[in-house]
């Protein structure tokens, strides 16, 4: 009864008086209420001198005690949550730094690859003459290339063929390194990968080349 009343009113503490509890008579004469034990739900905690440790000013918790306990519990909850969130943030930062280091490691472009790409553009392979001839056409499928090094060479040829290198004074070495960095920066995902970017660039190149968009002043 006292616990139900305390939960309903919010006043949970030691009951002011002992609560009578019905019990079966040990003599078989029925039931009675002569046994009146103290509540075991909220017993007093007393020190060696007999002083109450739960409430030094009295036997019951007042409104101020409830507010102090509520404020302290909220503070403890916020502190625990802050510690857990801070730990999760530290783990996320560690994973981010590791992924960035791995990404930068794999995106490094050696000078040998840059020089190889430049040499391949300046001295094209004669076995690929038919490919170079069909490359500006609309019916050319960029995904048929399938060779990363050859696709990098063709991407660089777009800049040369449209005279972007001379018009914008692009350094050839920086152009080769830029194209290689873009190629290495793409992940091998099903759609947004290097071949998708290469196909989009080829379509834009074919439009400008076949429709003469630059010569006609449509693109400046």
How many alpha carbons lie under 13 Å from residue 30 in its C-beta half-sphere? 3
Structure tokens belonging to residue 107: 């995106």
Burial of 81 from C-beta contacts in 10 A (0-12 / 13-18 / 19+) = exposed
Cα–Cα distance for residue pair 208/215, rounded to 1 Å: 9
Place of tokens 């990098």: 152
Cα–Cα distance for residue pair 39/2, rounded to 1 Å: 9
> If we measure between CA atoms, which residue out of 142, 123, 120, 117 comes closest to residue 131?
142
What does the DSSP 8-state code read for residue 215?
T
> If we measure between CA atoms, which residue out of 85, 89, 86, 194 comes closest to residue 149?
194
Hey, which residues does 52 pair with through a beta bridge? 46
Q: Please list the active-site residues.
A: 192
Residues 39/15, Cβ–Cβ less than 8 Å: yes
């Amino acid at each position: 009864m006292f616990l139900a009343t305390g939960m309903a009113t919010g006043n949970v503490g030691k009951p002011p008086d002992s609560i009578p509890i019905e019990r079966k008579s040990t003599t078989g004469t029925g039931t009675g209420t002569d046994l009146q034990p103290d509540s075991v739900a909220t017993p007093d905690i007393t020190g060696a001198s007999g002083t109450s440790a739960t409430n030094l000013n009295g036997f019951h918790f007042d409104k101020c005690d409830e507010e102090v306990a509520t404020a302290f519990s909220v503070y403890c909850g916020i502190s625990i949550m802050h510690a857990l969130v801070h730990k999760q943030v530290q783990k996320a930062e560690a994973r981010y730094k590791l992924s960035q280091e791995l990404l930068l490691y794999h995106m490094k472009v050696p000078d040998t690859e840059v020089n190889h790409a430049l040499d391949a553009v300046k001295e094209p392979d004669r076995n690929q003459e038919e490919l170079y001839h069909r490359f500006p056409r609309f019916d050319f499928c960029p995904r048929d290339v399938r060779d990363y090094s050859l696709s990098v060479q063709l991407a660089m040829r777009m800049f040369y063929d449209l005279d972007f290198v001379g018009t914008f004074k692009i350094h050839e070495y920086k152009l080769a390194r830029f194209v290689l960095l873009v190629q290495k920066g793409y992940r091998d995902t099903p759609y947004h990968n290097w071949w998708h970017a290469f196909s989009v660039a080829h379509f834009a190149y074919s439009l400008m080349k076949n429709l003469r968009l630059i010569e006609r002043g449509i693109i400046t």
